[in-house]
Amino acid sequence: MPNLRLALSQIDPWVGDISRNADEVVRWTKQAAEAGAQLVAFPELMLTGYPVEDLALRRSFVEASRTALVELAERLATEGLGELPVVLGYLGRSERDVPRSGRPAGSPQNCAAVLHRGKVVNRFAKHYLPNYGVFDEYRYFVPGNQLSVLRLHGVDVALAICEDIWQDGGRVTAAREAGAGLLLSINGSPYEHNKDDIRLELVTRRAAEAGCPLVYLNMVGAQDELIFDGDSLVVDADGEVLVRGPKFEESLLILDLDLPAAADPTDGLLLSDGLQLVRTDLGGEALPAPAEPVSPGIAPQVSDEAEIYQALVTGTRAYVRKNGFKSVLIGLSGGIDSALVAAIAVDAIGAENVHCVSMPSRYSSQHSRDDAAELARRTGLNFRTVSIAPMFDAYMESLGLTGLAEENLQSRLRGTLLMALSNQEGHIVLAPGNKSELAVGYSTLYGDSVGAYGPIKDVYKSLIFRLAVWRNEEAVRRGETPPIPENTISKPPSAELRPDQVDTDSLPDYDLLDTVLDLYVEGDQGRDTIVAAGFDPEVVDRVVRLVDTAEYKRRQYPPGPKISAKGFGRDRRLPITNRWRRG
């Protein structure tokens, strides 16, 4: 069996920064060449970043991507890397009208290309376009209808792009029909908790269907609400997992694979789904297995809490850095939400870049102030106290507010204060709202909901507690000081906007609330189904009503990292003005 040494660049492309991404391709290709690879692969839309959203509809952006691709091929050759074939994603356009789509020639396509010896030797477009959940690729792209097969060193390698392997048939079946010895899929597959198990099952099944090993290369990093966890996989046709990349970390995975020898090409082969075979012969003798085959092996798997926490850190770091900021600002109340956000921020960008303000009012308890100061002491982040009492008194004197208006004023003064410091000092504000609060509208519009990015907006309150406990335990395991004061974790959550207020005055107990939310939001179960499952009809009616009437607040909330199958963002698009009240 001929051997191929593959290099999988599990890396982080930046949306819109084509020249940076091209530099990255050169840098990682150099390392792949030094490791003796015969083929190096990069993720879906590597050159432009993923997802590009409506940038795909800008002709200038599509042309910049296409031009950069050609220049990259030339540059790789100039830099002595031309002999190593490079597979990467780029934004392209269709050469001809797409039948039955109503889309003319020149429409954008989610493409991949093969670069070799200074030239673009093969190009093709994604065949299946995802159009559900966070994806709406039909809005942007027209599909491709080609199966690209590279022949190199006596092996036929069929190529696919992400959704191509999520749908039955298509390039997976076509790879088998074309007699491929390897199926290589490049991906931009966003993180969701538990999606790693789904991907592993999928990749294993598709390898069996293709009848050959399947290489699944995913990107890492984050783009706005989406996080990319890497977790690249190599599975053989019998379902054995040969390689599993690390999660959330950039990594060059080098591996030797013994693969079936390519057969004589069959002319005029008809492939399923109307795919047309385009074979590119890159040459090279069949190579024997090296005396010491290399493999990165299988990266260790971590607990759910560790994985989710890492996802939140990845999303926060990427948002801050990619938007050109160095530092963040957080209102630190002594409560668990802002404490967890502060811990995430410290892990993402370093304590020296995290600025926190305690903003006590007359209702703030001494323990809250102490807990906030204690977290600052433990982590070493920048901490100051600014009382909102004088501003509050000035408003009250002018407006004479009462009840909810008086309560919300405190939250709004804090929001204004944070934005003022953000303007003055250049930090971006992190919003501390969690998914349970966002679900039921338990936050003050233009108050505690201000901010640029909400690191825990997709995390239910019950999970917030688990993550805080996990982070502290992790610190102990590493021999470090746990960042979050124990009292912050153990005390009952309170907004402290009036005397002795606790969240359970207005909301069901968080465990119950989160269970009902999980059924209604994630599970899309109707009110009657949830009641039939044994939940108190009064609680269910209340929760459903709160969720339905809080859409306007969620739409005004900052973006934040998606970790669930259904985040409040593109995953769940409901009308704001909506008189349907039956769950």
Ligand X SMILES: NC(=O)CC[C@H](N)C(=O)O
Ligand Y SMILES: Nc1ncnc2c1ncn2[C@@H]1O[C@H](COP(=O)(O)OP(=O)(O)OC[C@H]2O[C@@H]([n+]3cccc(C(=O)O)c3)[C@H](O)[C@@H]2O)[C@@H](O)[C@H]1O
**Shortest reach from residue 414's CB to ligand Y, in Å:** 9
Strand partners, 358: 385
Pair type for strands 276-283 and 146-152: parallel
162 binds ligand X (CB under 6 A): yes
441 binds, among ligand X, ligand Y, ligand ATP, none (CB under 5 to 8 A by kind): ligand Y
Residue with token string 């091929």 = 73
- Sign, CA dihedral 197-199-205-211, equals negative
495 binds ligand Y (CB under 6 A): yes
443 binds ligand Y (CB under 6 A): yes
Q: Which residues contact 74 (CB under 8 A, 6 or more apart)?
A: 118
- Quickly list H helices, 249-322: 304-322
Which phi and psi angles does 150 have, rounded to 5°?
A: -100, 130
Q: Which amino acid is at 479?
A: G
CA distance 8 to 550: 44
- Cβ-based nearer residue to ligand Y, 250 or 406: 406
Closest Cα to residue 553, out of 419, 447, 430, 453? 447
What residues between 503 and 522 interact with ligand Y by CB under 6 A? 503, 506
Residues 180 and 212 sit within 8 Å (Cβ to Cβ): yes
495 binds ligand ATP (CB under 6 A): yes
Closest Cα to residue 9, out of 36, 40, 38? 40
Whether 126 is a known active-site residue: answer yes
331 is in an annotated binding site: yes
**Shortest reach from residue 363's CB to ligand X, in Å:** 45
User: Which member of 24, 44, 163, 374 is catalytic?
Assistant: 44
Structure tokens at 150: 């590279």
What residues between 352 and 411 interact with ligand Y by CB under 6 A? 404, 407-408, 411
Among 200, 306, 445, 565, binds ligand Y (CB under 6 A): 445
Among 263, 502, 552, 581, binds ligand Y (CB under 6 A): 552
334 is in an annotated binding site: yes
Region binding ligand Y by CB under 6 A among candidate stretches 238-246, 346-354, 387-395, 495-503: 495-503
What residues between 344 and 383 interact with ligand ATP by CB under 6 A? 357-360, 364, 368
Residue with token string 């339905």 = 548
Residues 212 and 193 sit within 8 Å (Cβ to Cβ): no
> Distances from the Cα of 252 to the Cαs of 11, 92, 226, 403, in angstroms?
8, 26, 22, 58
Distance of CA 324 to the CA centre of its chain: 19
437 binds ligand Y (CB under 6 A): yes
Closest Cα to residue 160, out of 255, 268, 275? 275
441 binds ligand ATP (CB under 6 A): no
338 is in an annotated binding site: yes
- Cβ-based nearer residue to ligand ATP, 34 or 486: 486
**How many Cβ atoms from other residues are within 10 Å of residue 210's Cβ?**
25
Helix, strand and coil content of the chain, in percent to the nearest 5, comes to 40, 20, 40
Reduce the DSSP state of residue 194 to 3 states and report it: coil
336 is in an annotated binding site: yes
329 is in an annotated binding site: no
- Cβ-based nearer residue to ligand Y, 338 or 564: 338
What residues between 164 and 203 interact with ligand X by CB under 6 A? 166, 188-190
132 is in an annotated binding site: yes
138 binds ligand Y (CB under 6 A): no
Residues 146 and 278 sit within 8 Å (Cβ to Cβ): yes
Among 2, 154, 432, 567, binds ligand ATP (CB under 6 A): 432
Structure tokens at 50: 């993923």
Whether 30 is a known active-site residue: answer no
Closest Cα to residue 149, out of 168, 171, 169, 167? 171
Closest Cα to residue 299, out of 259, 341, 251? 251
441 binds ligand Y (CB under 6 A): yes
CA distance 110 to 90: 7
Region binding ligand X by CB under 6 A among candidate stretches 18-26, 158-166, 407-415, 555-563: 158-166
Region binding ligand Y by CB under 6 A among candidate stretches 290-298, 369-377, 441-449, 533-541: 441-449
Rounded to the nearest 5 degrees, what angle is found at the Cα of 317, between the Cα atoms of 316 and 319? 65
Rounded to the nearest 5 degrees, what angle is found at the Cα of 409, between the Cα atoms of 407 and 414? 110
44 binds ligand X (CB under 6 A): yes
**How many Cβ atoms from other residues are within 10 Å of residue 34's Cβ?**
11
> What is the size of the binding site for ligand X (CB under 6 A)?
9
> What is the size of the binding site for ligand ATP (CB under 6 A)?
20
User: Which member of 126, 435, 457, 566 is catalytic?
Assistant: 126
- Cβ-based nearer residue to ligand X, 166 or 392: 166
Whether 425 is a known active-site residue: answer no
User: Which member of 162, 374, 435, 551 is catalytic?
Assistant: 162
Region binding ligand X by CB under 6 A among candidate stretches 162-170, 312-320, 361-369, 442-450: 162-170
**Shortest reach from residue 124's CB to ligand X, in Å:** 15
Cite the active site residues: 44, 126, 162
Interacting residues with ligand X (CB under 6 A) = 44, 130, 135, 162-163, 166, 188-190
Binding-site residue positions for ATP: 331-338
Binding-site residue positions for L-glutamine: 132, 189, 195
Interacting residues with ligand Y (CB under 6 A) = 404, 407-408, 411, 437, 441-445, 447-448, 495, 497, 503, 506, 552
Interacting residues with ligand ATP (CB under 6 A) = 331-333, 335-338, 357-360, 364, 368, 414, 432, 437, 448, 493, 495-496
